[in-house]
Amino acid sequence: MSDTLARKLVVLADSAKYDASCASTKLARNPAAAPGICHSYTPDGRCVSLLKILFTNYCIFDCAYCVNRASNDVPRARFAIEEVVRLTDDFYRRNYIDGLFLSSGVIQSPDYTMEQIVAVARSLRVDHAFAGYIHLKAMPGVSQDLLREAGRWADRLSVNIELPTAHELRRFAPDKSHEAIESVMAGVKNEIDASSDRPGAGKAAPPAYAAAGQTTQMIVGASGTSDAQILQTAERLYARHQLRRVYYTAYSPIPGQESLLSGKPTPLVREHRLYQADQLVRNYGFALDELVDDDRPDLDLRMDPKVAWAMRHPERWPVDVNTASREALMRVPGFGRHTVKKIIAARKHARLRMNDLVRTGARMRVARHFVCTADSRPSSSMDPGLVAQLTSSSEQLTLPWA
């Protein structure tokens, strides 16, 4: 690798780390191989290594929350199409990576930028028979023709909603709008639907267009938006555009923009609580207004939102694991989906005891306060003032009715 290419890789891998929409971490299969190689997780839990880079961090937009905004004084670089292709193919053949996550600042126009990104993916697939995973970032305002082309070569597409409300985006990123961003999301959804409806595209054959679907990212805490507003936006995007995932990124102050945005970094625990609430709504049967509402617009940072909900509903406990419905078990703090599945299977053969629950993988330091088994039942007395005593870790709960 030439010194010039190595410098570009350092700059553009560092610039890409702020985009969370591929669920990546900084850990790499071979940390000494190159900057930008990180782990990501597939929907089925598999861990894969991706080359996560920007095509360029030059940008014509001046979004207040973005480190790569036009007015910010940062080192800049731009890859050539063949450089990204060569890096990706070389790392893939060396078994350093399983795929590519490619985003970019906007140069000249959204369409021009997208043409460069699509050209990378097309060259990898066509010229190099690249069989790895490709996740491409779609530019806000890009044409439908380019979206259609991008989905031919990419496994996943994403366009970031950026901020939870249209008002915030107009204020802090005047070159962007929710309407333009959601138009791209709608375009991706329409192409996925059309691909799925083609003859022969049944359950046995994944759709030819962006088979892994689309995702987005929201920045959390850049202004005073509540968790309720954030989660309402996410719920609307899931329903309208069938997103696979909304990613939440805790805001970190950008030098020079303190007067516009919050001057304090968003606690990472807030990002974590939003992910937990998102999961409860999507996968555990909770309605959003059970977690946040007008009286409680923000999640309690001290505890898992499932624990917080359980504390507000003492009449629901304890739940008998030997007779309760799947829906009731899914609401027990400390029980995950796989735990519930194991409990339902195991109780067909014998009445479950506390030791049996331990073997299902349940977090019993939490769950034991909310369930009864064949050999154990917690006290039914609950202190209404208990919530104020809880710490941020539900693993450390000591409840007076236990």
**pLDDT by position in tens, the chain (length 402):** 888 999 999 999 999 988 876 655 544 445 555 788 988 776 566 788 999 999 999 999 999 899 999 999 999 999 999 999 999 999 999 999 999 999 999 999 999 999 999 999 999 999 999 999 999 999 999 999 999 999 999 999 999 999 999 999 999 999 999 999 999 999 999 999 998 876 665 555 555 899 999 999 999 998 889 999 999 999 999 999 999 999 999 998 876 666 667 668 899 999 999 999 999 999 999 999 999 999 999 999 999 999 999 999 999 999 999 999 999 999 999 999 999 999 999 999 999 999 999 999 999 989 999 999 999 988 654 544 444 334 434 444 333 332
Task: Give yes or no for a contact between 336 and 326, defined as CB atoms under 8 angstroms apart.
Answer: no
d(CA 81, CA 79) in angstroms, rounded, equals: 6
Question: Cα(1)–Cα(308) distance, rounded to whole angstroms?
Answer: 53
Answer yes or no: do 61 and 163 share one domain: yes
Whether residue 21 is found in the same domain as residue 160: yes
Q: Is 190 found in the same domain as 326?
A: no
Instruction: Tell me if 232 is assigned to some domain.
Output: no
Both 316 and 200 in a single domain? no
Residue 122 lies in a domain: yes
Q: 170, 186, 213 — which closes off a domain? A: 213
Residue 167 forms part of a structural domain: yes
Is beta strand 47-54 parallel, antiparallel or unpaired with respect to 99-103? parallel
Identify the three-state secondary structure at position 48: strand
**Residue 385 within a domain:** yes
Is residue 265 included in any domain, yes or no? Answer: no
Q: Return the ∠ at Cα 200 (arms to 194 and 201), rounded to 5°.
A: 45
Q: What is the pLDDT of residue 208?
A: 80
Domain shared by 21 and 170, yes or no: yes
Of 213, 228, 256, which marks where a domain is finished? Answer: 213
**Number of neighbouring beta carbons within 10 Å of residue 267:** 14
Count of residues making up the chain: 402
Any domain includes 279: no
Q: Which of 213, 243, 274 is the last residue of a domain?
A: 213
Range of the domain at 169: 3-213
Residue 21 lies in a domain: yes
Write the CATH number for 24.
Answer: 3.20.20
Residue 390 lies in a domain: yes
In a shared domain, residues 167 and 20: yes
129 and 18 in a common domain: yes
- Residue 52, classified by CB atoms within 10 Å of its CB into exposed (0-12), middle (13-18) or buried (19+), is buried
197 in the same domain as 326: no
Give DSSP secondary structure letters for 192-242. Answer: HHHHHHSTT-STTS--SS-TT-EEEEEEESSSS--HHHHHHHHHHHHHHH-
Q: Are residues 200 and 322 in the same domain?
A: no
How far, in Å, CA of 147 to CA of 114, rounded?
A: 8
Same domain, 54 and 166: yes
206 and 309 fall within a common domain: no
Is residue 207 located within the same domain as residue 329? no
pLDDT of residue 399: 35
Strands (E), 42-162: 47-54, 99-103, 133-137, 156-158
Number of structural domains (the chain) is 2
